[in-house]
Amino acid sequence: MINFKSIKSICCIGAGYVGGPTMAVIADKCPNIIVHVVDINQERIDSWNNLDLSKLPVFEPGLADVISRVRNKNLFFSTKVAEFISKSELVFISVNTPTKKYGIGAGKASDISSLEECTRQVAKNASGHTIVVEKSTIPVKTAAAVKAILETSQNDNDLNKTFSVLSNPEFLAEGTAIKDLENPDRILIGGDDDDAINLLKDIYLNWVDKNKIITTNLWSSELSKLASNAFLAQRISSINSFSALCEETGANIDELKRAVGSDKRIGEYFLNAGPGFGGSCFQKDILNLTYLSEHFGLPEVAEYWEQVININNWQQYRIYKTVLNKLFGTLSNKKISIFGFAFKADTNDTRESPAIKICKYLLDESASIVIHDPRVNESNIDIDLNEYIKLKYSKWEVSSDYELAAKDSDGIIILTEWDIYKKIDWFKIEGLMRKPAWVFDTRKIIDPYVIKQTSLNFWQIGYGIN
Task: Tell me the catalytic residues.
Answer: 281
| Interacting residue with ligand NAD among 7, 11, 12, 17 (CB under 6 A) | 17
Binding segment toward ligand NAD, per CB under 6 A, in 59-67, 88-96, 310-318, 422-430: 88-96
Give me the least distance between CB of 175 and ligand NAD, in Å please. 9
Alpha carbon distance 368, 386 (integer Å): 14
Amino acid found at 163: F
Alpha carbon distance 15, 41 (integer Å): 9
Q: Give the relative orientation of helices 218-249 and 253-261 as an angle to the nearest 10 degrees.
A: 140
Cα dihedral 192, 194, 200, 206 sign: positive
Give me the least distance between CB of 282 and ligand UDX, in Å please. 6
- At residue 269's C-alpha, the angle toward residues 264 and 275, to 5°, is 140
Give me the least distance between CB of 237 and ligand UDX, in Å please. 9
**If contact means CB under 5 to 8 A according to the sort of partner, which of ligand NAD, ligand UDX, none does residue 442 touch?**
none
Q: How many residues bind ligand NAD (CB under 6 A)?
A: 26
Give me the least distance between CB of 83 and ligand NAD, in Å please. 13
Give me the least distance between CB of 2 and ligand UDX, in Å please. 29
Site for ligand UDX, rule CB under 6 A: 170-174, 229, 232, 236, 270-272, 274, 277-279, 281-282, 343-344
Contact set for ligand NAD, span 104-123 (CB under 6 A): 114, 117-118
**If contact means CB under 5 to 8 A according to the sort of partner, which of ligand UDX, ligand NAD, none does residue 290 touch?**
none
Is residue 172 a contact point for ligand NAD (CB under 6 A)? yes
Cβ closest to ligand NAD, residue 64 vs residue 81: 81
Cβ closest to ligand UDX, residue 88 vs residue 380: 380
Cβ closest to ligand UDX, residue 185 vs residue 401: 185
Pairing of strands 9-13, 411-414: unpaired
**If contact means CB under 5 to 8 A according to the sort of partner, which of ligand UDX, ligand NAD, none does residue 236 touch?**
ligand UDX
Give me the least distance between CB of 354 and ligand UDX, in Å please. 7
Cβ closest to ligand UDX, residue 224 vs residue 337: 224
Alpha carbon distance 137, 325 (integer Å): 40
Cβ closest to ligand UDX, residue 352 vs residue 365: 352
Binding segment toward ligand NAD, per CB under 6 A, in 3-11, 39-47, 354-362, 400-408: 39-47
Closest listed residue to residue 100, CA positions, set 118, 114, 86: 114
Contact 38, 152 (CB under 8 A): no
| Interacting residue with ligand NAD among 2, 9, 40, 388 (CB under 6 A) | 40
Give me the least distance between CB of 297 and ligand NAD, in Å please. 25
Q: For 49-141, where are the alpha helices, taking DSSP H only?
A: 63-70, 81-86, 113-125
Where does 274-418 show beta strands of DSSP type E? Answer: 335-339, 368-372, 395-398, 411-414
Who's near 65: CB < 8 A, 6+ residues apart? none
Alpha carbon distance 435, 243 (integer Å): 28
CA distances, 267 to each of 92, 183, 243 (Å): 33, 20, 18
Closest listed residue to residue 280, CA positions, set 387, 142, 173, 188: 173
Is residue 94 a contact point for ligand NAD (CB under 6 A)? yes
409 alpha-carbon distance from chain centroid? 31
Whether omega for the bond prior to residue 436 falls within 30 degrees of 0, making it cis, is yes
* Alpha carbons within 13 A on the beta-carbon side of 35: 27
Cβ closest to ligand UDX, residue 170 vs residue 384: 170
Interacting residues with ligand NAD (CB under 6 A): 13-19, 39-41, 44, 81, 94-97, 114, 117-118, 136-137, 170, 172, 174, 280-281
